[in-house]
């Protein structure tokens, strides 16, 4: 997953909204990505995101 990817949240995270990855955290644990959704930019764990192709 990288900046610019189109992603979809799991259904229990922001009701399965779709968005665009702004940036991905570079940490050793609990990695997340900042995603631009229709409700603003949110930090979401990578486990709760799916890349749409």
pLDDT string in tens for the chain (53-residue length): 999 999 999 999 999 999 999 999 989 888 999 999 999 999 999 999 999 97
How far apart (Å, rounded) are the C-alpha atoms in residues 12 and 1?
A: 20
How far apart (Å, rounded) are the C-alpha atoms in residues 38 and 47?
A: 20
According to DSSP, the β-strands at 40-45 and 49-51 are unpaired
Phi, psi for residue 23 in degrees, rounded to 5: -160, 160
- For residue 1, being part of any structural domain is answered with no
What range does the domain containing 21 cover?
6-51
Residue 48: predicted pLDDT? 97
Residues β-bridged to residue 40: 37
- For residue 32, being part of any structural domain is answered with yes
Give the count of domains, the chain: 1
Residue 53: predicted pLDDT? 79
Residue 31: predicted pLDDT? 94
DSSP 28: S
């Amino acid at each position: 997953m990288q900046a610019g990817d189109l992603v979809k949240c799991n259904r229990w995270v922001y009701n399965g909204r779709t968005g665009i990855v702004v940036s991905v955290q570079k940490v050793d644990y609990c990695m997340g990505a900042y995603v631009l959704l229709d409700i603003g930019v949110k930090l979401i764990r990578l486990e709760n995101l799916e890349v749409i192709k």
